[in-house]
Amino acid sequence: DAKTTQPTSMDCAEGRAANLPCNHSTISGNEYVYWYRQIHSQGPQYIIHGLKNNETNEMASLIITEDRKSSTLILPHATLRDTAVYYCIVRVAGSSNTGKLIFGQGTTLQVKP
């Protein structure tokens, strides 16, 4: 699976949009981009995933560049409860894949009042 690079930490003001970048320059054509987050003392939580089109759900939006070498997770109106470590993961899809997630260090997002 391709490696991802994320900033170690970011701050965001409450109510503003949080934009979390991720670089995955070695991503392959059959690899999806997944985002999980981990709130303190909890297990990771799935947020969103995409292949090449932009995706949106009730939690966030995922913007993937045309060359697929980077992506941005957008939390449109960050709240204090969004303070967490955010993990960007690229993951192969296919019948031969085991489905395991390879977590990096992630980005610690601190939402401030």
Catalog residues that contact other proteins under the rule CB under 8 A: 30, 32, 41-46, 49, 51, 85, 87, 91, 93-106
Residue (of 66, 62, 39) closest to 49 by Cα position: 62
36/70 with CB nearer other proteins: 36
Rounded to the nearest whole angstrom, what is the least distance from the CB of residue 63 to other proteins in the complex? Answer: 17
Element (H, E) at 20: strand 18-23
Rounded to the nearest whole angstrom, what is the least distance from the CB of residue 55 to other proteins in the complex? Answer: 11
Residue (of 38, 6, 22, 3) closest to 107 by Cα position: 6
43/113 with CB nearer other proteins: 43
7/91 with CB nearer other proteins: 91
Backbone φ/ψ region at 68: left (φ over 0), alpha (ψ -120 to 50), beta? left
Phi (first) and psi of residue 81, to 5 degrees: -70, -10
Rounded to the nearest whole angstrom, what is the least distance from the CB of residue 21 to other proteins in the complex? Answer: 17
Rounded to the nearest whole angstrom, what is the least distance from the CB of residue 38 to other proteins in the complex? Answer: 8
